[in-house]
Chain A
Amino acid sequence: MKREINFVLNGERVSMEVRGNEILLEVLREKLGLKSPKCGCDKGDCGTCTVMINGKTVRSCLVLAAEIDKCDVLTLEGLMQGGLTPLQKSFLEHNSFQCGFCTPGVILSATELLRKNPRPDKTEIQEALSGNLCRCTGYSPIIEAIRDFSK
């Protein structure tokens, strides 16, 4: 049984039909063409599927598409419509990525943190990112980029 949902996606109004059992991550990637949220584990353990719903980061692999009716959804693509954000520039400078697979999720989690807490200390940054697994960098370049940016 399909259901109509109306929501804002990266600043644009979208109206579409989804089945009850469709997962938000799949709808974003397969139906809406947004590839930055990834499927790393499909269980909410790795954070690569992170998107924002109403300004809060969520694991989109654990959200039904139907749940975003009347919500404001943001992916990394939407975050940088005006070009690279200052945070992203800091990531570039600090080499805060290697393979890049975890990067969209990390940037969104960092963005949520900085909106709530513009000057986080190291522990606060670590806590905010603890749900985003990274196997490549060892995390310290990511933490440094955020600290440097928020100084």
Chain B
Amino acid sequence: MEDYKFIGKPAVRIDGKEKISGAARFVDDLDFGPGLLFAAIVESPHAHALIKNIDYAEALKLSGVVKIVTGKDFPFKFGLYMHDRYIFAQDRVRFIGEQVAAVIARDAATALEGAKLVKVQYSVLPAVLDAQGALEKETVLLHPDLGGYKHVPWFFPKAGTNIAHLRKVRKGDVDKAFSSADYVFEDTYSVPRYAHCALEVHGAVGLYDNSGRLTVWTASQSPHTQRHLFAEALAPLGLSHKDIRVITPFVGGGFGGKAGVSMEILGAALATAVKGRPVKILWSRAQEFYNTYQRQGLVARIKAGFKKDGTLLALDNTLYWDAGAYVEYGANVVNAAGLSASGPYNIPNVRIDSYCVYTNLPPGGPYRGFGYSEFLFGLESHLNEIAKKMGIDPVELRRKNAIREGDILNYGGKMNASGLLEAIDKVAQEIEWGKKVPSRDPNIATGKGFALFWKAPAMPPNAGSSAFLKFNEDGSLNILISGMEIGQGLLTVIAQIAAEVLTVPVENIRVETPDTDRNPYEWQTVASHLTWGCGKAVERAAIDARDQIFDLIERALNRKREALYLEDACVKSRSDGSFSLPLRDFVIAGIPMEDGTYRGGPIIGRGMFMPEFASAASDPETSQGGKPNVHYTVGASAVTVEIDRQTGKLRIPKVVLAVDVGRAINPDLIKGQITGGILQGIATVLYEDMRFDEKGRLINANFADYKIPTSVDIPDEVVPIIIEIPQKDGPYGARGMGEHTMIPVAPMIANAVEDALGIRIKSMPITAEKIALRLLEGKK
């Protein structure tokens, strides 16, 4: 592998000083002066009901209340992949907590008081709180107008039902393969909903100034997509993209939850109701739990057919997704998962039915892993069960069936080059697979678990990235992108890519948080694709600048372009060792000529990347013929566990995770994703436990009862392994990773529990309580 000066090397994060000094500004930190208004929401107490009447006369009388708005003031739909959602509920509410009205006041306390005084009359409708129920209870239609909703061409809603989308994959002949298989196993696995729990809550400030310009400051992963959705939704008010500006400061954790548009539309809409005055809407932690995107629940029925020798012949995976009240974003999770719910295996016969089902629960949406963690729980658990029944080592079974470069994917495309086998081998070696860990105590059971993972970015085929790059007089660089720094270190990776091309050291490069007025387009900071997509755009921008530099030097100083190169932020020549012109001498000022004139001027680079080979068009009945996924990032992971047989408490001495990143631009940041993602995965399987009551109300909408791990709850040792099989179209061969490190965790722990205790738990979370009670049951 080529050795670079900046690529692959550690770098002090360029947002580091801001964050560790507390100077980093998040949306709630921004000041808007004494005129700032505050909004509070009137929420639905019912999971499903018709709105009969809203009376806010009393609330309006409250001193300090400035304006009150309801759905009548904003009868506009919005959504990313489908327009099925409203700014405020219109004729009905579809989940507990849904916004019905907003009270705008001079201070936050008054807004809250005002909201309490708004009286809403409802006519309660029967609610469906699970996907199965929503499919059976055809009389309870959550979206009677489903047939008329605008949506992307690759969705297939079933009008007259609660099925918002059905993704069907048909490859080969599954039934024939089952009848010829030596072993066929079927089982059902279930995964509940989860919350992102970013430490920063959602928030937005909107200002519709008297010139008709709407500016919205949001905590968002996607400023341009937000602007687009605001423009679409508010077009009836006469607004288009040029009238709207979205500014996104640092984001205190996204994990997908701050992608797309959820509550931020309120910032935009409410601003139009109080023209000339900024209005802030900030979610409470409770609202963060029940009225932002949630990770969808899944019940998966898996049937797999094998040959005696362990060859996986056929897979039938039926996925029922509890997608919530609105699926404008979540339906794509169902879609993406549906296309890939075979896992990273070469299976000649595949049938997948991925149902996106409306339920009267909070809207499901993007969450780290985008459906893959959910389906992989069942799949990787099932494969282990099969391995056990067939008497084949579970790692061997995986190695045998692992997908390789060129293998046909579920939808007919070809698998990219990947280090999956290398990952399996390295992880197996590091965890000492096959060696039983002796227990130091008869009360403690030890076990090991293994899982593979893969994921492709789930994006529309035309998700574009672009970048501008400008020099300053001191030779430093400003890079303008709309990729968001949500903690992953994107800004630093971008700087390292530009540094490598232009030889300007990373500490002389600034990458700021975006403003849609100034920063060029980026689709969204999701899908773990920015290092690849945005990084490529930046690489091209840097090369563009370098080309301009060399062209200038050639024509101004008569030096052969082919001999020129950059080193230490100077232009040098291979044919003249004495030539070394610092960039800072001319990147703004130009090159002085003998006659007093100048050549050149400010050097600005521009770059753009949009994959031109991706396509979402395919056979709706089989998914064949499409190229929906640009490439897959793959890996393997393993864990050792110690379980107290009496208390059910599970300790993790060691986790290993290997991921093929193509090329590690910044290995430390990759390790950061590995450590962080693994813990987030552990949290879903051991601690997080979302509870709805029988009416559909989320009863643990707080950190007191929805537990995310603390510093005390971490594994003893996390071993990250970086594998590099280059991604040819990525910058320096890089492929994205970020979501991936969470994906294998739940099933590998379930597998470790089975290894340690001989019990197979097929539903998440796998808490100490669940384990202890299962063991007790076993004793009876």
Chain A directly contacts chain B within the complex, with at least one CB pair under 8 Å: yes
Quick check: is A65 within 8 A (CB to CB) of the other chain?
no
For residue A91, which residues in chain B have a CB less than 8 angstroms away from its CB?
20
Quick check: is B250 within 8 A (CB to CB) of the other chain?
yes
Within 8 A of A (CB), among B199-257: 199-201, 250-255
Contact A43 B285 (CB under 8 A): yes
For residue A139, which residues in chain B have a CB less than 8 angstroms away from its CB?
675, 679, 709-711, 714
Quick check: is A13 within 8 A (CB to CB) of the other chain?
no
User: Known: A92-B13, A133-B710. Contact between A103 and B22, CB under 8 A?
Assistant: yes
Q: Mark B463-482, 1 if CB is under 8 A from A, else 0.
A: 00000000000000000000
Quick check: is A52 within 8 A (CB to CB) of the other chain?
no
Contact B198 A100 (CB under 8 A): no
Contact A133 B26 (CB under 8 A): no
Within 8 A of B (CB), among A42-72: 42-43, 45-46, 48
> Interface majority SS on B: helix, strand, loop or mixed?
loop
Quick check: is A24 within 8 A (CB to CB) of the other chain?
no
Q: Mark B175-197, 1 if CB is under 8 A from A, else 0.
A: 00000000000000000000011
Q: Mark A114-151, 1 if CB is under 8 A from B, else 0.
A: 00000000000111011111111111111100000000
Contact A39 B711 (CB under 8 A): no
Contact A100 B712 (CB under 8 A): no
Contact B284 A132 (CB under 8 A): no
For residue B250, which residues in chain A have a CB less than 8 angstroms away from its CB?
99-100
For residue B29, which residues in chain A have a CB less than 8 angstroms away from its CB?
29, 35
Within 8 A of A (CB), among B1-52: 12-13, 15-22, 24-26, 28-29, 31
Quick check: is A84 within 8 A (CB to CB) of the other chain?
yes
How far is the CB of A7 from the nearest CB of chain B, in Å?
20
Contact B285 A100 (CB under 8 A): no
How far is the CB of B455 from the nearest CB of chain A, in Å?
19
Q: Mark A85-102, 1 if CB is under 8 A from B, else 0.
A: 000100111011111111
State in angstroms the CA–CA spacing of A123 and B433 once bound together: 29
Q: Mark B99-127, 1 if CB is under 8 A from A, else 0.
A: 00000000000000000000000000000
Q: Which of B265-273, B378-386, B485-493, B603-611 contacts A (4 or more CB under 8 A)?
A: B485-493
Q: Mark B699-723, 1 if CB is under 8 A from A, else 0.
A: 0001110001111101000100000
Quick check: is A36 within 8 A (CB to CB) of the other chain?
yes
State in angstroms the CA–CA spacing of A42 and B198 once bound together: 14
User: Known: A77-B22, A133-B710. Contact between A100 and B15, CB under 8 A?
Assistant: yes
For residue B395, which residues in chain A have a CB less than 8 angstroms away from its CB?
none
Closest to B285 in A: A41
How far is the CB of B779 from the nearest CB of chain A, in Å?
33
Closest to B29 in A: A35
User: Known: A95-B668, A101-B26, A130-B712. Contact between A40 and B200, CB under 8 A?
Assistant: yes
State in angstroms the CA–CA spacing of A139 and B250 once bound together: 20
How far is the CB of B659 from the nearest CB of chain A, in Å?
15
Quick check: is B334 within 8 A (CB to CB) of the other chain?
no
Contact A99 B486 (CB under 8 A): yes
For residue B28, which residues in chain A have a CB less than 8 angstroms away from its CB?
38-39
How far is the CB of B733 from the nearest CB of chain A, in Å?
23
Contact A131 B710 (CB under 8 A): yes
Quick check: is A107 within 8 A (CB to CB) of the other chain?
yes
State in angstroms the CA–CA spacing of A125 and B710 once bound together: 12
Quick check: is B676 within 8 A (CB to CB) of the other chain?
yes
Contact A99 B20 (CB under 8 A): no
State in angstroms the CA–CA spacing of A95 and B19 once bound together: 11
Quick check: is B678 within 8 A (CB to CB) of the other chain?
yes
- Known contacts A35-B29, A101-B253; 19 additional CB pairs below 8 A are A42-B284, A43-B702, A46-B285, A48-B199, A92-B13, A96-B20, A97-B19, A97-B20, A99-B251, A99-B486, A103-B19, A103-B22, A107-B20, A126-B710, A135-B253, A136-B253, A138-B672, A139-B709, A141-B675
